[in-house]
Structure 1
Amino acid sequence: MAVTRQADRVDAVRDLVRANGKRWTIAKGAVVEALVGADEHLSVQQVHETIAARFPQIDRSTVHRILLALAEEHVVHVLGRQGEARYGMADEPHHHAVCARCGRETEIPAKVIAPALSKATAATGFTFATTSITLTGLCETCTTS
C-alpha cells in the first residue's frame, strides 16, 4: 500500500509540474521519488546519494538545480538547518518544528496550526499566505537533558 501511495504522490507531482508548463525529466522524477520515499527532509547530498546507484549519470549539481526549480514551483519546501538546506515534499500541507540544540526536525500537520493563523488574521487583519511555518524550540530529548 505504501508503494502505491508513494507512486500516487509522484504521479500527482508530475501532473502538477506539467500543468505549470514545466518539463518532467527522468532526473526530476528520481529526485521527487527520493523525497517522497524519505522519512525526513534531505540535503542535496542525501538526495544525490539516494539516486546515484540507479542513476549514476545524474550529478550533484543537477540534483541541486532540480531542487531549486521544484522549490520555485512550490512542489518542495526548503528548511535551513545549521547552514545546510534540507528539502521536503510540500504536497501534503504541514509545518515544521526544529530543535534549536540538536537540529531534530518534525512535521506539524497544517490543521494543528490553522486555528492560530485564524486568530492572527482576526487580530491583525492580515491574510497569511503560508506554504510553511517553522517553529524553533527544544525537542523532548534536549529538554530533559
Structure 2
Amino acid sequence: MTTTSPSAHTDTTTPPDASVLLRCHGLRCTPSRLHTLAMLSRSGLHLSSAEACAELHRLGAPFDPATVYRTLETLTAVGLTHAVHGPGPKRYGISSEPHHHTVCEQCGQVGTLASEPLREAVERIAEFTGLRPGASGSLLVYGRCARCGD
C-alpha cells in the first residue's frame, strides 16, 4: 500500500516498504514519518530539519517544523536515518549503503563518500591513530566544498 501526499500535483508517494520498516522498528505509520522517509530516500541528500521541512512543504506535505524535527529525531533514534554533526545544524540522511561523509567547514554542506573505495584508507587511519568509524560506521572528513572554495 502506498500513501500519497496531500497534493495531487506532486509525487511524494512513499516506498511500499516504508510502512513495513516503521512497524519493524516499533513505530506507527504517521503521515510525517512516511513522507519524511520518502523525501529523504528520493533526494539522497543530507538535510537539516529546516531544509527537510521546506522540502516537504515544496512537495505538498506541509508539516510544521516541530513535527519534522521530532520525526527526524525519532527515525534517527531507531536507525532508519542517520544524523551528521558539523558546523551549523545537524543534517539527516538515509542510505542503504555504508558510507562516510564530507562536511564543509564553512557552509555545513554534507556529502557522501562510498565506503568501499576508502576501505584501505580507513584501515590505514585506524592503524596509525587507533581511530575507527563510530557507531554509525561513518568517518567525517572536514574541509571546504567547491562552492565555498579556499
The alignment's TM-score, normalised by the length of structure 2, stands at 0.70
Q: Quick one: distance in 1 between partners of 2:43 and 2:113?
A: 16
Unaligned runs of 5+ in 2: 1-11
Residue identity opposite 1:30 in structure 2: H
Q: Shift of residue 127 of structure 1?
A: 9.3
Deviations 1:65-104 (A, max 9, x none): 1100111111111122323111111332211011223434
| 1:19 has 2:24 as partner | yes
CA displacement at 1:111 relative to structure 2: 1.0
Count residues with an aligned counterpart.
Answer: 135
The one-letter code sitting in structure 1 at the alignment partner of 2:106 is R
Separation (CA, whole Å) in 1 of partners of 2:111 and 2:103: 7
Q: What does residue 101 of structure 1 align with?
A: 106
The whole-number CA distance in structure 1 between the counterparts of 2:96 and 2:53 is 21
Separation in 1, partners of 2:101, 2:36: 21
Q: Residue 49 in 1 paired to residue 54 in 2?
A: yes
Identity of aligned residues (%): 28
Kept after mapping to 2: 8 A contact 1:74/1:90: no
The residue that corresponds to 2:70 in the other structure is 65
Q: Which amino acid aligns with 1:25?
A: T
Q: CA deviation at 1:129?
A: 4.5
Match of 2:96 in 1: 91
Q: CA deviation at 1:22?
A: 1.7
RMSD value, Cα: 3.0
- Structure richer in helix, relative to its length: 1
Task: Give the SS at the match of 1:84.
Answer: coil
- Provide the residue aligned with 2:144 in structure 1: 138
SS in 2 for 1:96: strand
Measure the CA separation in 2 of the matches of 1:59 and 1:140: 32
Match of 1:110 among 109, 115, 135: 115
How does the TM-score come out when normalised to structure 1? 0.72
Letter in 2 for 1:55: A
Residues 13 and 140 (structure 1), Cα distance of their counterparts in 2 relative to 1, 3 Å cut: same
